[in-house]
Amino acid sequence: MSNFQQMLSQALVSGQLWTDEPMSRHTTFRVGGPADYYVEAQTAAELSQVLGLCRRQEVPCYVVGNGSNLLVGDGGYRGVILSLGKQFSGVEKAGEGKLLAGAGALLSVVAKTALKESLAGMEFASGIPGTVGGAVVMNAGAYGSELADVLGSVMLLDPEGEVGRFSPAQLELGYRSSNIQARGLVVLQAEFNLEPGEEKQIAGRMEELAAQRRAKQPLEYPSAGSTFKRPEGYFAGRLIEEAGLRGFCVGGAQVSEKHCGFVVNRGSATAADLRQLFREVQRRVREHSGVELELEVKLLGDF
């Protein structure tokens, strides 16, 4: 056991540590090589200890949620992948129209809790496969709504180990963006402000959106959702289709035949396949329409 590994172990009381952990187990693309260290923290104190240790030892560290917006290279990640354990996955009602959710809670669970409490506003999130923490970081959205519409406040851990509450305005939430990662902050919990509603109507809207997803999105294959951000004044999927790329493949990676805004793993894709396909799509769309597509998927590690 290395000295650093020993220090990591000592930083964890109830958390867990794995070495050479395949990231294909932790991303929705189902690809990715091994992380040197994969840590699942159960408390804010453990998070702070691990982050502080990585800073002092100058070891790269990256915080992941559900891996639903992430492509890790086939060579893996040289450093620590830090995830939030079950202690961060609670969701509860906290006053009139409010839900509190841990950063590790799935958005789908928050939406189901809102339905159970007859609270409207989270229907759009019921099919988003990410965690609360990841969704706050990227201001996740779907069907014309986004997290900023319902976010009340966010509890964050700063690089000095201090915990504080931040308003959405302080986080500079934009289209699929925030200042959270740039400031070295880690999401611990989010408060959602929702409206009283009729359970039947809320359930109906959730089913309506679920039906749209089943009809239009390639849910049968591993993917990271929308691969590219929506260019202003355009739709990424339409630009990709107009460039003649529906069904285009690189190895086991493919532009979905069902929805060109999605790149999928047909079962045998490597991270290299996916990255090459991303680049080819960007090149061909640029040549065809003059529009520069920006990746929504985060690239991490050694390719």
The two tokens of residue 113 are 């809790």
What is d(CA 285, CA 274) in angstroms, rounded to the nearest whole number?
16
Please list, residue by residue across 252-265, b when 16 or more beta carbons sit within 10 angstroms of its beta carbon and e when fewer do. Answer: bbbbbebbbbbbbb
Contact between residue 156 and residue 163 where contact means Cβ atoms under 8 Å apart: yes
29-47: buried (b, 16+ CB within 10 Å) or exposed (e) per residue? bbbbbbbbbbbbbbbbbbb
Phi then psi dihedrals of residue 55, to 5 deg: -65, -45
User: Using CA atoms, how far apart are residues 270 and 73, in angstroms rounded to an integer?
Assistant: 8
Catalytic site residue from 226, 256, 275, 284: 226
268 is catalytic: no
The answer for residues whose C-beta is within 8 angstroms of residue 214's C-beta and 6 or more apart is none
Q: H/E element holding 299?
A: strand 298-300
Structure tokens at 59: 């070891």
Which residues sit opposite 19 in a β-bridge? 37
What gap in Å lies between CA 46 and CA 186, rounded to an integer? 12
Q: Is residue 292 annotated as part of the catalytic site, yes or no? A: no
Going from the C-alpha of 302 to that of each of 73, 78, 102, the distances in angstroms are 5, 8, 30
Q: Where are the beta strands (DSSP E) in 132-194?
A: 141-142, 145-146, 151-157, 163-166, 186-193
226 a catalytic residue: yes
Could you tell me the CA-to-CA distances from 289 to 26, 240, 247, 254, 285 in Å, in that order?
Answer: 35, 10, 19, 21, 6
* Residue of 176, 230, 266, 286 with catalytic role: 176
Q: Which residues are catalytic?
A: 176, 226, 296
